[in-house]
Amino acid sequence: MGKSYKLGIIKGDGIGPEIVDEAINVLDAVATKFGFEISYEEFLLGGAAIDETGVPLPQETINGVKKVDAVLFGAIGGPKWDNLERHLRPESGLLALRKEMGTFANLRPAIVYDELINASTLKPDVVRGVDIMVVRELTGGIYFGQPREYAQDRAYNTMVYTREEIARIAKVAFDIAMKRDKRVCSVDKANVLEVSQLWREVVEEVAKDYPEVELSHMYVDNAAMQLIREPKQFDVIVTGNIFGDILSDAASMLSGSIGLLPSASTGSKVGLYEPIHGSAPDIAGQGIANPIATIASAAMLLRYELDETEAADAIDNAIKKVLADGYRTGDIAAFDAKEVVSCTEMGNIIANYISKS
């Protein structure tokens, strides 16, 4: 056998256990196919952790995720825990976990599959072939800047970025671009914000270490317009926290279905890979959830955390094939479905495609 990896598994709440199980199914298939080993260790987070331990992020989980190569995560939350104090809610556990893991970069792909092109609200000619990666800085900017204050008649926040924070997120974006089409668009508001002037300066400095990558700049208002007008012009977008929050959500809707899109939070320690959708407690346990976003998250884990590019490609190709062959879970059944399948069936079909390819 080749290399051996240890993955942390956080299934979470709602449909989390169902979709993560299918991602593990696919990971096992691709590991066998490409001659490496994967072992798994499961940890608690969110509502499941609250029910068992009384807190959303147990110390055992904090300790455990620091000893694995990467973490695959499902989803957390649900109405069962909505009335708890804020610091005891499932979402607080996830925020704390990201901090413990040292994640500062959010990776949000926006991919439009030809077979589901009619799911997008935009014209097919506009979105056909879209494959964008939005790299959002997660731990700086206006969401975390000090001082900040809310008073009766006046409130303010402070946008702050250091040279080091900008350089490290830019490096993530350029490294990803080297594995893609070697184009980076840095989005800022340098015409009016001093923070953005520094952002642009530092990104240009980092770009000197990547002569193969083409760097462009765009103001955030124009970038928002261009995402809708001509999304295919983008390969990798790198931007700050608040701009990335908005642009990544806008980009995600180019595909027309959040059930298909993966994401990752990476940084200096261990990466956390997860679908962008929530725990969907209304359909939990019914076997109808769409596991494709979680399976695609596993492919991202292989590509960006473990550098198993061939294995990641195999998963991505299997997803495209399953859609081309007309298999659909219920959420996307309206778009040219030849056969509607369950969550487990979708995972098995993708795993079989990999094994037989």
Q: Where in the sequence numbering do the catalytic residues fall?
A: 143, 189, 221, 245, 249
d(CA 248, CA 243): 8
Which residue, 113, 71, 32, 110, is CA-closest to 311?
32
Task: Give the rounded distance of the alpha carbon of 108 from its chain centre.
Answer: 5
Alpha helices, DSSP H, located in 117-253: 124-127, 163-178, 194-207, 220-229, 241-252
Alpha helices, DSSP H, located in the chain: 16-34, 47-53, 59-65, 90-100, 124-127, 163-178, 194-207, 220-229, 241-252, 292-300, 309-324, 343-356
Which residue, 197, 172, 202, is CA-closest to 108?
172
d(CA 261, CA 249): 11
